Structure 1
């Protein structure tokens, strides 16, 4: 049984990212744009040098490019260091994707390109800022931010009440300057005080799937019918616009490219918040399946592969994890094997217990239940067993 040790979550303050919208004047927006262009042009050049010399570690790479980055692109010392670190992190991520097989099989053209071609950066890729380059005035809701044209003072920002309260009351770490759809944002990381972990009286099991996004052991169903229908409409619309291929169609595609992702993220946020709220109300922990590598394990017919690939298992799991951590709710990941084939009442396991997607019928005790509810009950039981194993005193 695979169990997540929650001590890592509570050993140090949690970090959350708060997104605030900047409201720069036209002249300030021009300076911010020039800064992103200069930083990302420098990052692309550093990435080429890193490939040529075969050096990818941050501090080692500085010896090769630091002075040139400062002189050629009008970058300050802190900005130059962040540019080099950004390139180093990009190659680290690329290496991890190659090792995980996400960029094709060894010997394929895509795999060879990933191993030999330098990383490139869009002109508007996010740029990190630290406290020396960015200072906050929460009382008047403005920031002072470094640019290649000098420091911009009193740039106003706005956000939701929770976001504004977070940056006004919590320690702020590194922030990212982001340009998206003609708007400017600051993604600020804040440290949340360490929560007090509750001692759970049981576990709320959560079964995640495609037909039902989530189904918990209390028989609460979070259906995926509307979301899957929405995604199918978006696929048809994209196909029509791509086939049309006019200038207006391309503009519409550009505006809609993130709409589906935002909609799915909102659905996952609502589901995760509802589940965590119920766990807090009843004093229970949350047990979920460990779905790492599910896309590689599950075999589906071709029409179903798009649905599986577009469904964000990892995102919902991440939302549950951080919301549970903030609320002090224990969350464990359990082994998902045979949860859908095992009877939650008598424990009899048989693949014939599940004659179709929705129905579970035990061939031993005769219990009939919704298949996802039965799986959620098994997950809840494994959560209790796993939590007991983690917290059981060691006997010599």
Structure 2
């Protein structure tokens, strides 16, 4: 029997043209859920309600299922002291995804969930990449998790979590083929597979980061705290969208070339000290930690897993100093954008050379990966 592994994904489904009355109802539902969450936190832990019946005295009218899910969501965030927003949540028993086949052969999708008045069915706008997961869910090939009703800008969405099972044996049957990804500033990411290279420039990032830094300075001088918060949320959404686009292209690139393992640098612990920050001042668009590299790594990881591709982290030491062809190590990093080997004379783009070294894991797998492998080995031995 094939061994399987699971991956939880969240898909963002846009509610299609809800009426003004429905939007007002969703907003009221969200406001009451948030108010209940903060009242709940104000109660001593031993006295906190455990069921929807116990919770009703602490809340304005809300569906019992929303109250129960709110309690679970609050308890999951153990360090929370106050909620600026807790979106209404639903479990897999009271949130449904439905599909209706049209006369022209097309499909109309909708979701249904309980609200303040009654259960409502709402048409949703489904993107092409989301259809396969919804079809899999309806066919019983995936497990539905919780869903949240969320407002982003002026639009309402449902964030639906789905557990997908993946066949590990299919991946293990393929011959190993590695792709290395080098992360940096001038090039955000460089993916390399045996001479085939994909570059993601950091020019747009640098411009956008400088733009937001300039706006923040202006707003800080004016003391516009609400506008600052709104600006921060907008910048975060832009970063997340960019990381989604980059990770998607990286995984598609890997699939086209038959890659079985993606290797990336483990950049934990690479932050500069206070003295280093003074010596190496950079503008707002070029700071290593102004870009969410960890988020990018997570996005590549889960997208790769869904595609049947493994991901490993490697130590970043010497990846930029070593010749990927003969293994010669330079004493200092090249000044320009090209790596010239002092021994074999090979000339290669410095980031491509580093990506090839990462693919070969010349510095070994990272401690995080080694710990996971050791734990897995011990579990097998115990079994």
Range into which the TM-score falls when normalised by the shorter chain: 0.7 to 0.9
In 2, Cα distance between the equivalents of 1:335 and 1:297? 20
User: Secondary structure at the residue paired with 2:26?
Assistant: helix
Contact 1:36–1:125 (CA<8 Å) still a contact in 2?
yes
Instruction: Name the structure where strand makes up a greater proportion of residues.
Output: 2
Instruction: Name the structure where helix makes up a greater proportion of residues.
Output: 1
Query: 5+ residue gaps in structure 2?
Result: 101-107, 378-383
Counterpart residue number, 2:328: 348
* 2:230 maps to 1:220: no
* 2:150 maps to 1:178: yes
In 2, Cα distance between the equivalents of 1:355 and 1:318? 30
* Deviation for aligned residue 1:87: 1.7
1:71-108 CA distances to partner (integer Å, 9 max, x unpaired)?
332334432222222222222xx3xxxxxxxxxxxxxx
Match of 1:309 among 289, 292, 295: 289
* Deviation for aligned residue 1:207: 0.6
For residues 253-272 of structure 1, the aligned pairs below 5 Å read 257-272=232-247
Counterpart residue number, 1:372: 351
Contact 1:144–1:154 (CA<8 Å) still a contact in 2?
yes
Q: Cα gap change, 1:250/1:350 in structure 2, threshold over 3 Å: closer, same or farther?
A: same
Moved more, 81-90 or 296-305: 296-305
For residues 1-396 of structure 1, the aligned pairs below 5 Å read 11-22=4-15, 23-49=17-43, 52-53=44-45, 62-63=49-50, 67-73=53-59, 74-91=61-78, 94=79, 119-122=81-84, 124-139=85-100, 140-147=108-115, 149-170=116-137, 171=142, 172-195=144-167, 196-197=170-171, 199-217=174-192, 218-241=196-219, 243=221, 257-284=232-259, 285-295=261-271, 299-300=276-277, 301-303=280-282, 307-352=287-332, 354-356=333-335, 358-382=337-361
RMSD: 3.6
* Deviation for aligned residue 1:283: 2.0
1:236-262 CA distances to partner (integer Å, 9 max, x unpaired)?
23434554678xx977x6765444334
In 2, Cα distance between the equivalents of 1:312 and 1:144? 35
Counterpart residue number, 1:112: none
Query: 5+ residue gaps in structure 1?
Result: 1-9, 95-117
* Deviation for aligned residue 1:190: 2.2
User: Secondary structure at the residue paired with 2:14?
Assistant: strand
TM-score by length of 1: 0.74
